[in-house]
Amino acid sequence: MTAVAQPTEDRMTPLMGLATAGGAIVFLLATAGLANAWLAGKPLPDSLRIAAVEAHLGSVLLALPLGISQLLLPKGTSRHRTVGYIWVSLMVFTALVSFAIHTINPHGLSWIHLFSVLTLVTCPIIVLEARRGRVEKHRRAVLGLMIGGLAIAGLFTFLPGRALGNLALQLIGR
């Protein structure tokens, strides 16, 4: 039998704030950069038009606001569980499709794929700990994945010279 957490109104902890802010920054920079290019009628860089990159970016842009909503809204509800399963599924898909992306190292995997491994290890833990009613372990795993897998890994995509970084720099006229 699995334990089901009771709905709660969680207070915002510093790690939840970091995960929320980091996820929001990545989401806003990515969508603003993409929207700016689209509204200016500029073609996207070739590296963003690779099918695996499109799938990866699309699933991340769906997972980010869902993850943020999970942190901000009440926990233990039917909505939280349903959105949680969708979020975990998106994160697993995002991680798996990343292994087909070789823009940093054209000959194979790069250091950034470690975030994909982190995601594939953490997602089952998130589900299992929630189903077992181990709320604190579940929360720590979710926050770790939000901060490491979405915020930090996402911010690496905005480094100068990377496609999203270049699109974001165009927002400020560089």
pLDDT, tens digit, 9 for 90 and up, residues 91-112: 999 999 999 999 889 989 999 9
Q: Average of pLDDT values for 29-40? A: 94
Measured CA to CA, the distance from residue 78 to residue 84 in angstroms comes to: 10
Closest CA to 154 of 34, 59, 65, 23: 23
6 pLDDT band, cuts 50/70/90, is low
The structure's pTM equals 0.91
Q: Poorest-confidence range of 9-18, 48-57, 89-98?
A: 9-18
When the pLDDT of each residue in the chain is averaged and rounded to a whole number, the result is 92
Contacts of 25 (CB under 8 A, 6+ apart): 151, 155
Query: 11 falls in which pLDDT band (50, 70, 90)?
Result: confident
Asked if pLDDT for residue 8 goes beyond 60, the answer is no
45-52 mean pLDDT: 93
CA angle 91, 94, 95 (to 5 degrees): 90
CB 10 within 8 A of CB 143: no
Q: Over the stretch 100-155, which tens digit does the pLDDT of each residue have?
A: 999 889 989 999 999 999 999 999 999 999 999 999 999 999 999 999 999 999 99
- Run of H or E residues at 174: none
User: Span 41-52, mean pLDDT?
Assistant: 93
- Asked if pLDDT for residue 169 goes beyond 60, the answer is yes
* Banded pLDDT at 7 (limits 50, 70, 90): low
